[in-house]
């Protein structure tokens, strides 16, 4: 299937989604957003996919919305201020990234600015190369953050630091992003995809049901009480303990071998 400015590939239970407008550092167009939403839907529905990896072609991860295209559309009367506020496709992408039943890894190879930074934040884990840069650059253009930035950023770096980054619109390098907990690992550019795929492969080899429920539990815990978290853990454990994967995991432990999980 042809996807506008996006490459979608599945290999070894890993769906690789590559934003593909390198000449603009993968700035997002309306058609590109539609392709992105479709690719995420395909990955979620494909039982052969156990992990998603998202990256950008060329030197950038995603430089945000295509400002030149948006400005041209406004001048031509093809869009309005309300269109900028209400974007079902944008919101579908963000919600799909967060609610995906499979782990989502962002392999940040370069600039992740504006919407690009928030797409990375919506992923479960971020690994970055030394060339990566991050910025909530909306304020510099007189705009308000979107793509979930005001939701994700304070939950990762804390409210005060989120205020600083959003109000200033400043760009931070990969080392500072690592210090703030925005990224989990920092590697050389040549090792970015190898490191990201190794992590993805380790998750893909794991028990899908247990990973899916653990992901849900982790995000539920952000807005729930300890009692509610304990209750969900019991619920999830009861489900997992009845799976073939649980039996395989116990057998493999006793027999001192690596488990082979089938998702059953």
The whole-number pLDDT of residue 69 equals 64
Rounded mean pLDDT, 191-208: 97
Report whether 141 contacts 67 (CB < 8 A): yes
User: pLDDT class for 123, splitting at 50, 70, 90?
Assistant: very high
Cα 100 to Cα 45: distance, rounded to the nearest angstrom: 10
The whole-number pLDDT of residue 66 equals 78
Q: For the segment 219-232, what is each residue's pLDDT rounded down to a tens digit?
A: 999 999 999 999 99
User: pLDDT class for 239, splitting at 50, 70, 90?
Assistant: very high
The whole-number pLDDT of residue 202 equals 97
User: pLDDT class for 84, splitting at 50, 70, 90?
Assistant: low
Q: What is the mean pLDDT of the chain?
A: 93
pLDDT higher than threshold 90 for residue 150: yes
Rounded mean pLDDT, 86-112: 94
Cα maximum dimension of the chain: 69
Rounded mean pLDDT, 237-257: 94
The whole-number pLDDT of residue 68 equals 67
Give all domains of the chain, ordered by start, each with its CATH number.
Answer: 6-204 (3.90.226.10), 208-255 (1.10.12.10)
């Amino acid at each position: 299937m042809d996807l506008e400015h996006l490459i979608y590939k599945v290999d070894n239970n890993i769906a690789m989604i590559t934003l593909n407008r390198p000449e603009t550092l993968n700035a997002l167009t309306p058609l590109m957003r539609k392709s992105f939403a479709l690719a995420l839907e395909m990955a979620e529905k494909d039982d052969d996919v156990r992990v998603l990896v998202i990256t950008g072609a060329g030197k950038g991860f995603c430089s945000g919305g295509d400002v030149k295209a948006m400005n041209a559309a406004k001048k031509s009367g093809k869009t309005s201020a309300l269109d900028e506020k209400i974007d079902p496709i944008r919101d579908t992408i963000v919600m799909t990234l967060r609610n995906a039943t499979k782990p989502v890894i962002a392999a940040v190879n370069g600039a992740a600015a504006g919407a690009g930074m928030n797409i990375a934040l919506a992923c479960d884990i971020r690994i970055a190369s030394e060339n990566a840069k991050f910025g909530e650059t909306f304020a510099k253009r007189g705009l308000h953050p979107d793509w979930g930035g005001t939701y994700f950023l304070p939950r990762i770096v804390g409210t005060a630091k989120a205020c600083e980054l959003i109000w200033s619109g400043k760009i931070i390098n990969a080392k500072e992003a690592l210090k703030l907990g925005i990224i989990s690992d920092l590697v050389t550019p040549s090792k970015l995809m190898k490191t990201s795929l190794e992590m993805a492969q380790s998750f893909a080899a794991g028990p899908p049901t247990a990973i899916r429920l653990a992901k849900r539990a982790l995000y539920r815990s952000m807005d729930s009480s300890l009692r509610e978290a304990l209750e969900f853990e019991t619920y999830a454990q009861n489900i997992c303990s009845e799976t073939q994967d649980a039996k395989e995991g116990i057998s493999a432990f006793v027999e001192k071998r690596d488990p082979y999980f089938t998702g059953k």
